[in-house]
Amino acid sequence: MEKEIRGAEAVIKSLVAEGVHTIFGYPGGAIMPIYDALYDYKEEINHILVRHEQGAIHAAQGFARTSETCGVCFATSGPGATNLITGLADAMIDSTPVVCITGQVASHLLGTDAFQETDVIGISMPVTKWNTQVKRAEDIPAVLAKAFFIARSGRPGPVLVDITKDAQFGMMDFNYVPCNDIRSYFPNPVINVSKIDAAIKLINESKKPYLLVGQGITLSNAEQELVEFAEKSGIPVASTLLGLGAFPPDHPLYVGYLGMHGNYAPNIKTNECDVLIAIGMRFDDRVTGDVSRYAKQAKIIHIDIDFAELNKIVTNEVSIHADAKDALLLLNSKVEKRSHDAWIQEFRDAEKLEVEAVIEDAIHPKHDRLQMAEVVNMLSEKTDGKAIIVTDVGQHQMVTSRYYQYKAQNTNITSGGLGTMGFALPAAIGAKLGNPSKTVVAIIGDGGFQMTIQELGTILQFKIDIKILILNNNFLGMVRQWQEMFFEKRYSFTDIVNPNFTQIAKGYDIEARKIDQRTELSEALDVMLTSKAAYLLEAVVEQEENVFPMVATGASVSEIRLN
């Protein structure tokens, strides 16, 4: 036990004890004592000064996803803390472990509307796994230990710890004890083996079984167990958006990507299977379409670590409250060796329809204008599907999910449930720092790029080697597509006048290039990928390119449109 250190230093020493070596943040008045303490720990902790607090939390998310640890960010009180809220909501719905530490006004000022005081605990409560306010220096180590345990255990998620200024200045005896248990909190479910047996009976008796996998596979490091289960059972496998990369895309049992802009076969076959096994996914509306017409013919087996997700959207025949890896280990020990060749051929036949109607023209367009799909497809080929790809939100995100082949684990970083424009640039910064040896490419639309464009300054200051690929159609493309299809082409405020992105990048000492010709594409991608520093490539693409297939809002997955 160390004697008499300030609470602010206790924060830093607690982070060091947790193995934290990277923090993203922005200083301010209420968190200044913590920043002062951080000054003496430059050898232990690398602090990345972002240009906006939203950038801090998105960077922490990207770091968490690629490092498979907790991301950490700092912000001051008032506007600093409220600027974290979007990222907290994003991390909450996408199960990303982040610990946010905010400064707060002195405790005697709480509730007085003091300068830069906001009730960040009340504001953040709906979008955090846990939050708390610390008013005494001596409570800091135990609270932070609890914060890290909650953030990374069970279904991961964001935690916020708000520390008053007097607690930061207060003196205390420092003793850090890691947290491994909290009364009434049980993050590791004990599997009911009878539920496993019930699932095995359905699987072994099925004629047309179907396996849907989500990010839960990646979060539990269950990729190997998933492949073993699929190969032993012979069941076709489809992935959600966040589950891309959890199963090899070139595996003969992989049948594609689910969702509103997913592949044709995996969507329509959902309403033809007899047993549906869902692992580590939550049946969100982008996957189910009209839930009243979703898989009504199937007996559903749902495996999830979050008990609240079971029977929340669809009614299950068998609900298994379990970590994905633990459940798959038991399933693999019991499932029969089978094959379903005729059933899988039905997927391949449907796949041919999509290739002929959509994919071939998308990656080999017959007109002169560049298309998003061909750019992403070529990027996938040049990186062999093994780069870390960070996508923003919009058409380019859906195109990337369709045409980038994620062949390496934990390389798909995107804002899934919340759909946060502006996510990609700061998240790519964090992703690179979380896994420095990998190539990181941020694929961003022209609209989303401008929401966090200031983080180019972070790249400049810290010389972060990420590749930025802007797919520029001079539209807010996804909204424009909907306006075309459902609002009679009434393009209400979706055409966007953009600045000179390459000139802006050069102002931040980032090498940049703009292309609009197919003949330039291959060489331009090569230059971007081989650059030893950050690089921005702007590809001007077809303005009114639409993303198909598509399941319209309110439609059944069986009504997926090819055009």
Q: CB-hemisphere CA count at 13 Å for 198?
A: 15
User: Which tokens sit at 99?
Assistant: 């610990």
Q: Using CA of residue 265, residue 280, residue 547, residue 488, what is the dihedral sign?
A: positive
User: Which residue among the candidates 32, 116, 378, 438 is catalytic per the annotation?
Assistant: 116
Listed in sequence order, the residues at least 6 apart from 228 whose beta carbon sits closer than 8 Å to its beta carbon are 328, 332
Any catalytic annotation for residue 454?
no
User: Which residue among the candidates 44, 115, 336, 345 is catalytic per the annotation?
Assistant: 115
User: Which residue among the candidates 9, 13, 24, 53 is catalytic per the annotation?
Assistant: 53
- The neighbour count for residue 19, using CB atoms within 10 Å, is 10
- The neighbour count for residue 113, using CB atoms within 10 Å, is 8
User: Which tokens sit at 224?
Assistant: 């190997």
Q: What angle do CA 256, 478, 218 make, to 5 degrees?
A: 40
Burial zone of 188 (CB within 10 Å; 0-12 exposed, 13-18 middle, 19+ buried): exposed
Residues facing residue 174 across a β-bridge? 2
Q: Cα 360 to chain center, whole Å?
A: 29
Q: What is the DSSP string of 306-354?
A: -GGGTTTSS--SEEEES-HHHHHHHHHHHPPP---HHHHHHHHHHHHHH
Any catalytic annotation for residue 116?
yes
User: Which residue among the candidates 129, 146, 165, 208 is catalytic per the annotation?
Assistant: 165
User: Which residue among the candidates 172, 372, 478, 550 is catalytic per the annotation?
Assistant: 478
Q: Using CA of residue 214, residue 220, residue 224, residue 226, what is the dihedral sign?
A: negative
CB 426 within 8 A of CB 59: yes
User: Which tokens sit at 84?
Assistant: 């974290």
Residues facing residue 441 across a β-bridge? 389, 467
**Strand pairing of 467-472 and 535-540?**
parallel
CB 561 within 8 A of CB 548: yes
Any catalytic annotation for residue 165?
yes
Greatest CA separation found in the chain?
Answer: 74
Burial zone of 426 (CB within 10 Å; 0-12 exposed, 13-18 middle, 19+ buried): buried
With b for 16 or more beta-carbon neighbours within 10 A and e for fewer, the 454-479 pattern comes to bbbbbbbebebebbbbbbbbbbbbbb
- The neighbour count for residue 336, using CB atoms within 10 Å, is 11
User: Which tokens sit at 23?
Assistant: 């923090």
Q: Integer distance in angstroms from the first to the last C-alpha of the chain?
A: 67
C-alpha dist (Å) from residue 245 to 134, 155, 219, 408, 433: 40, 19, 12, 6, 20
Helix (H, G, I), strand (E, B) or coil at 101: strand
Which residues are known to be catalytic?
53, 115-116, 165, 478
